[in-house]
Amino acid sequence: MEKLAELTRLDGISGNEHIVREYIKQNLAGESLEHYTDSIGNLIVKGKSSGASDLKVMLAAHMDEVGLMITYITEDGKLKFSTVGGMDSRILIGQHVRVGDKKIPGVIGYKSIHIQDRAERESAVKLKNLYIDIAAKDKENAQELVNTGDYAAFASEPVFFGEERIKAKALDDRAGCLVIMELLKEVWPFELYGCFTVQEEVGLRGATVAANRVRPDVGIVLETTTCADVPEVKEHEVSTVMGAGPSLSFADRTSIGDRDLLDHFIKTSQKEGIPFQWKRTTAGGNDAGKIQTSGTGVKTLTVSIPCRYIHSPVSVLDLKDLRNMLNLVGKALHTLPQALGR
Amino acid sequence: MNTGTLIEQLCDINAPTGYEHLAAEKLKEYFEPLCDKAYIDPFYNVIGYKKGTSPNSKSVMITAHYDQIGMIVSGYEKGGFLRISNLGGIDTKALMAREVIVHGREDVFGVIGAKPPHLLTAKETEKNLKITGLFIDTGYSDDVLKKKVSIGDSVTIVSPVVEMENKCVSGRSLDNRAGVATLVLILNELQTIKHANDIYVVATVQEETSLLGASISSYTLNPDLAVVIDVCHGDMPDADKSQCFTLNKGVPIGIGPAFHQDYTKALFDVAKKERIATQRSIEPSDPGTEALATQVSRLGIPTVAVSIPLRYMHTGAELISLSDVESVATLVARYIAGELDVTVGQNLI
């Protein structure tokens, strides 16, 4: 699991995934695996195959994470920013970030509580009123250190805590990347492509072109998903429960799970005694939406690890869920040709 | 030890207000090698005493509080969660998605969560959450958690001090470990300066809630002069300029009814002589620091105050300049080492 921690330490905000891509390339099981980086930045790795089946399977997990981008430098040397990917702006005040390739340390500021008036104390701060302070003396000094267009990532060190939990940034979707890296160690009865995609968080862009290149029969998206099994949330609003196994999505905003694949994964779960849960809400979307509708259509399924506080510097997942996901997907894939009559 | 390392170490110590017993011994270690005597009083004020050279020495007390804002465990929630209340004036805006340590039977790591954004109404997203809407996720099952954590245990934010550009640092508890650092730096300077007066440096408790430490220590030590060192608001672009002080532009010196006029004037004079830049920190009423307590202790203790500009107070991203800390220490050391020949009124009774 140290590898998961290492993956989250890397900064790879949408459009700037090269550090993650290089790490994955360096850590692929066996150097003999063929891989290709396409024009948008997807890393496509061809798995080992016995050639027993003519199926072509695409596994997808996105390398990019949510973060910030510098849009303007003020006269007093503070950095205005936009979010890259969806984020709750209420979590930003007081967070430490690192800006640009030089990783200049910064903090997201807002005036101290002592000098906020009553209305300010009671309301959330709008994104447009926040800024990053890198302790620059003035605009000129700031410009020596950073530039507009630089990315800023959360400075959040991974921590293992509680009973088998990890807290980190970017678990969405480095956890999925790790699962594919592990699956690429095996020999498959069919042609398998492990696709580490880019720009998922800004509109599923990498997966769109990766699917067009691979032209798979089956697409399995390995993701993390919202997990709101926490106080303040009503039971029917909870989409997944932490520790209850990987979730299968019957539908979300961008795709509907393929019935044959769902049946096969559920049967595998029962046969192997590996827990799974339904993702019980249809909110959110992921690469499956683009893979499913690519080419002449692809049978697609999303398998996700529940992730609390997702899209924040303190996202949390349960390592049991991660292990069960790896186990379930591995077992289900090995018997996939028989299940689909191929 | 350089100032940055000193501050990093001091900020790493956990002493939430009212829970200073967790830290007093550790702090004493910083004073001990630099003093004639270092001790901890029954309320966990940490005191360092250094004798002066003059037979008619006066006594000077320098205070900097070492308690930090924090939280307290107020209840359990099913699923390994804890509810919290505030210790001191914490800004809930800066609590979401933060890491914390619960100081239970053992230290327990957790993260602060709230109702997730996709389940909020538009109106709810515009509001700042009250602390009662937040919870700590510990990752433990309920029965295990109850063995480790009790209601009433304290909680601190995890946010180690990091170095930034231009000799600045940012992290938690710089309010007021930066002040405590100046006490150590002052003692350091006094190793080589001959000082006439008896010096007491006091790292005080419970400033964030009641000024308890300053009240007790000024009564007990009954000094001729109190020097209060605390942080003040640094320049933040969205804040009223009249309440803030620019970093690296001089030592803010308190001016107003809480501060003794003659001693304050003497302090400005020393700064001028030593070529240390100053700023005028105008406090027309409550200075918001321990000066409020020292000024009215016993028969009244003349008090002066200096401060360290700090941005984003009471968050995990407090930000200061190390040069400011060093300037404060140098100024105070030079000031108290000299003859304090201010005559304070005649005793008529």
In order of their start, the domains of chain A are: 2-65+169-339 (3.40.630.10), 67-154 (2.40.30.40)
Q: Which residues of B touch A131 (CB under 8 A)?
A: 237
Q: What is the pTM of this model?
A: 0.94
Report pLDDT for A14.
97
Cα radius of gyration (chain A): 21
Cβ–Cβ gap B128/A313 under 8 Å: no
Domains and CATH numbers, chain B: 3-68+172-337 (3.40.630.10), 70-157 (2.40.30.40)
Q: Which of residues 4-63 of A touch B (CB under 8 A)?
A: none
Report pLDDT for B343.
59
Outline where DSSP puts E strands in chain B.
Answer: 37-40, 46-50, 59-65, 70-77, 81-87, 99-103, 107-113, 135-137, 154-157, 162-163, 168-171, 198-204, 225-233, 251-255, 278-282, 303-310, 318-321
Closest CA in chain B for residue A314: B97
Assess contact for A107 and A132: CB atoms under 8 A. Answer: yes
Q: What is the mean pLDDT of residues A268-288?
A: 94
Higher pLDDT, B288 or B112: B112
* Integer Cα distance of B283 and B103 in angstroms: 36
Cβ–Cβ gap A161/B139 under 8 Å: yes
Cβ–Cβ gap A94/B312 under 8 Å: yes
Ramachandran region, residue B312 (left: φ > 0; alpha: ψ -120 to 50; beta: rest): left
Q: What is the mean pLDDT of residues B216-222?
A: 96
Nearest to B317 among A94, A231, A283 (CB): A94
Cβ–Cβ gap B113/A226 under 8 Å: no
Nearest to A163 among B140, B244, B319 (CB): B140
A69 HSE (CA, 13 A, CB side): 16
Supply the mean pLDDT for chain A: 95
Asked if pLDDT for residue B347 goes beyond 60, the answer is: no
Phi/psi at A55 (5° precision) = -65, 150
Q: What is the largest CA-CA distance in chain B?
A: 72
Asked if pLDDT for residue B123 goes beyond 70, the answer is: yes
Q: What does the pLDDT look like over A161-196, one tens digit per residue?
A: 999 999 999 999 999 999 999 999 999 999 999 999
Burial class (CB in 10 A: 0-12, 13-18, 19+), B343: exposed
Pairing of strands B225-233, B303-310: parallel
Q: What percent of chain A is modeled with pLDDT above 90? A: 94
Q: Which residues of B touch A110 (CB under 8 A)?
A: 93-94, 236, 238, 312
Pairing of strands A56-62, A218-226: parallel
Asked if pLDDT for residue B98 goes beyond 60, the answer is: yes
Cβ–Cβ gap B138/A162 under 8 Å: yes
Q: At what angle do helices B24-31 and B174-190 cross, to 10 degrees?
A: 30
Q: How far A277 CA lies from chain B's nearest CA (Å)?
A: 18
Q: How far A98 CA lies from chain B's nearest CA (Å)?
A: 10
Q: What does the pLDDT look like over A197-210, one tens digit per residue?
A: 999 999 999 999 99
Structure tokens at A105: 């340390």
Cβ–Cβ gap B165/A134 under 8 Å: yes
Q: What is the mean pLDDT of residues B317-342?
A: 92
Cβ–Cβ gap A94/B316 under 8 Å: yes
3-state secondary structure of A221: strand
Cβ–Cβ gap B317/A167 under 8 Å: no
Nearest to A95 among B237, B311, B317 (CB): B317
Outline where DSSP puts E strands in A54-169.
Answer: 56-62, 67-73, 79-84, 96-99, 104-109, 131-133, 151-154, 159-161, 165-168
Compute CA distances A175 → A222, A246, A310, whole Å.
Answer: 8, 12, 12
Q: What does the pLDDT look like over A235-264, one tens digit per residue?
A: 899 999 999 999 999 999 999 999 999 999
Report pLDDT for A29.
67
Asked if pLDDT for residue B342 goes beyond 80, the answer is: no
In the annotation, is A237 catalytic?
Answer: no
Report pLDDT for A284.
86
Q: Which residues of A touch B125 (CB under 8 A)?
A: 90, 124
Closest residue by Cα to residue B177 from B86, B308, B284? B308
Element spanning A277, H or E: strand A277-279
* Integer Cα distance of B304 and B328 in angstroms: 13
Q: Which residues of A touch B101 (CB under 8 A)?
A: none
Selected catalytic residue, list A200, A201, A232, A237: A200
Supply the mean pLDDT for chain B: 94
Asked if pLDDT for residue B344 goes beyond 80, the answer is: no
Report pLDDT for B10.
98
Interchain contact A131–B (C-beta under 8 A)? yes
Compute CA distances A233 → A229, A241, A253, A326, A341, whole Å.
Answer: 7, 12, 21, 29, 43
3-state secondary structure of A29: coil
Q: How far A134 CA lies from chain B's nearest CA (Å)?
A: 7
